[in-house]
Amino acid sequence: MRFIPHTAAQVAAMLETIGVANVTDLISHVPAGLRELAEIKLDPGRSEAEVVSELRALAARNQGASDYTSFLGGGYNRHYIPAAVRAVASRAEFATSYTPYQAEASQGTTQAIFEFQTLITQLTAMDVANASMYDGASATAEAVLMARRLKPKRKTIAVSRALWPDYRETIRTYLSALSGIEFLELPFDNHTGMVDLGALADIAGEELLCVVLGYPNVFGVIEPLRTATEIAHRAGALVVSATAEPLSLGLLKAPGELGADIVAGEGQSFGLAVEFGGPGVGFLAARTEHLRQMPGRLVGQTRDRDGRRAFCLTLATREQHIRRERATSNICTNHSLCALAATVYLSLLGRQGLRELAERNVELAHEAIDALAARGLRRRFSGPVFNEFALSLPHPSNALAWAEQRRILAGIALQPYYPELGDSILISVTEMNRSAELRRLADVLAEGR
């Protein structure tokens, strides 16, 4: 993308409009020490080659995930990306100046979105999927808003406390502008790490609007989705299933088969690298009877006047197309390149390949659990897991620092998000980890605990 800087006159006009004298005043809330660090001090009159050389030297001081053995997860996962994914997604035919469903866009772009939707419905066992969500958190929040449109007379939204903290906060933020909504957090079982089904049964009444569960949840534990759905449905409520590690759906029973009404999640594991905090690609799937309340946009398949197969924007209940108050979403970006990457990734692996990769992830995770157990370290929760699990340690922060000194990013401390789990870290294992790395992880954490 071209970068066109503002002129000094434009900057001055913008500052005057917002009532700030200069750019320094605009960022005065940032500590002075940090602002000084952000400056790149280059002597004037240096050649382009000299500047490039110095910037490269500065960049070389950074350390990335590839410089460490990584077991970081927590919503974004490190997977191998076949070179063909980037090769296809980078083709000029898929680059557009604006949103890809415009009339001038190629049929290939709209077909790619249609294929993404199709793959998501197959993965989730749902009837229909869209292709316009920012990430898993916003997709889940949109799913909750969709549930509210479907059950407008109910007011209680129950969210598992074992749902990722950023997902919960995004839902809470989306709901903050609405009146008459009660937001409840369902506790998790301290032994299994699963949602407390007794607590769900206690609130399952005529006011219950929907229940939101991670599948697997933030602890990597696979929630009892079928049982939770049965409880919610008996009360006439809807169930939203959220999945941050979609590779798990290559092995687990699909949420749609377990009765979920809306399935949301994050598709980053499918061909998108973990870098600079993203990008992600959210997905949302639902049943046909709820189609009209889906947010975002859908591409459909049709025939042109000559009877040839064609693709077009079928539903777009957004403020750009209909009256703002009747729009089901104000999402106005399109992650079509991210969705394209996910589509290429899934097409390359195929149904069997996806299952085999999922199985490999489970095998490695349990190999890590066994190696840690052999050194006296135990899982925090007993519930079944996919490729991520919580581990108890006497001194988690010390152990993580000890491991980092040995170039191992051993996991994520859970204490900042769950004060009651101050003894636990979250470890993610994928096909990017080798058996020797798992044994090394166990040795280092045992030494540093």
Q: What angle do CA 379, 385, 388 make, to 5 degrees?
A: 75
3-state secondary structure of 372: helix
Residue (of 145, 133, 3, 86) closest to 348 by Cα position: 86
Residue (of 280, 293, 265, 264) closest to 333 by Cα position: 280
Chunked into runs of 10 residues, the chain (449 residues) has average pLDDT values of 79 93 89 83 88 91 86 93 93 68 66 94 96 89 96 97 97 93 96 97 96 97 98 98 97 97 96 82 95 88 91 75 68 76 96 97 97 96 97 94 95 96 96 96 90
Tokens linked to 37 = 């660090």
Quote the pLDDT of residue 220: 97
Quote the pLDDT of residue 1: 46
Quote the pLDDT of residue 131: 81
What span, in angstroms and rounded, lies between the C-alpha atoms of 101 and 105? 6
Quote the pLDDT of residue 333: 59
Quote the pLDDT of residue 39: 78
Under 8 Å between Cβ of 196 and 227:
no
Quote the pLDDT of residue 334: 64
pTM above 0.85, yes or no: yes
3-state secondary structure of 223: coil
Residue showing tokens 């903290």? 165
What span, in angstroms and rounded, lies between the C-alpha atoms of 372 and 449? 12
Q: Long-range contact list for 89-94, CB < 8 A, 24+ apart?
A: 89/271, 89/337, 89/340, 89/341, 89/344, 94/336, 94/337, 94/340
End-to-end CA distance of the chain: 47
Quote the pLDDT of residue 331: 62
